[in-house]
Structure 1
């Protein structure tokens, strides 16, 4: 299989932003504060241009880990066009989430945790590091964001 030419940093950023805006689901990885059992779950998300918003039961292992550590790693897209996001996380109760944000989340994902009997929390992920690549020829230069700042102005 012949790989297409590696994309420029600017094109990768553009493609990454498109994926964040158009994709609905991500794999969310967490671990407890003791570093024990890691958890990996698929969750729906919304990108607002600066943060990703998702929801999970407050008492689930993922919910507890997010509250305890304030950190997560997200995998978005297929393995041959992946975006990895390492970010800091802030829990938001349904009561504290602006109504407009909750409506946008429900509209895009088709899922409204406010309507469920199980207590959910929303979580805002502020990206600190973003990597994106398709094939081996894009491993070099895969880091697009570091310390919460885009490395390419494009």
Structure 2
């Protein structure tokens, strides 16, 4: 694998474009939540980026769903260590029938699975509050592309 450390840092606009491409093309992300007692939990989940948020699905009884019901936010990671997108998000749980039809259709089309109608599953919607993206140390400066839910670049 070629290293990117000798490439010049991307502009904020290029990083934002790269992040949006990753959000559209990637299928899976790492999602970290915490229990009310502070016990951390991380799991990979499939997602679709729809109307400015990430939509995912998991079993109603999963630790992730329980943490979100209890008020946990989430940290979501995309990419690999040489092309990181790190998102701090507000999280909400939606019943299968609580998801907008277009979002459900987009999820099913991208992921290849439609859990709507199965009461064992719930949808999770994550609204990005802070988003950082970088490849190497030379991109750490300016890595915050979104703050308080507003794009900076």
Asked if Structure 1 and Structure 2 have the same fold, meaning a TM-score greater than 0.5 normalized by the shorter chain, the answer is yes
Q: Where does residue 103 of structure 2 map in the other structure?
A: 101
Of the candidates 13, 17, 22, which is equivalent to residue 16 of structure 2? 13
Unaligned 5+ segments in structure 2 are none
**2:33 — aligned with what?**
30
Question: Following TM superposition, by how much is the alpha carbon of 1:90 offset from its aligned partner in structure 2, in angstroms?
Answer: 1.3
Q: Which among 46, 49, 59 is matched to residue 48 of structure 2?
A: 46
TM-score (norm 1): 0.91
SS in 2 for 1:65: helix
1:1-154 aligned at under 5 Å gives the runs 2-36=5-39, 38-114=40-116, 119-152=120-153
Per-residue deviation, residues 130-154 of structure 1 (Å, max 9, x unmatched): 00000111111110001111112xx
Question: Shift in Å at residue 113 of structure 1?
Answer: 2.0
Superimposed CA distance per residue, residues 74-127 of structure 1 (whole angstroms, 9 cap, x where no aligned partner): 0011111110110101111001212332121011011222365x7111011110
* 3-state SS of 2:103 partner: helix
| RMSD value, Cα | 1.5
Structure-2-length-normalised TM-score: 0.92
In structure 2, the CA distance between the partners of 1:70 and 1:35, relative to structure 1 (3 Å rule), is closer
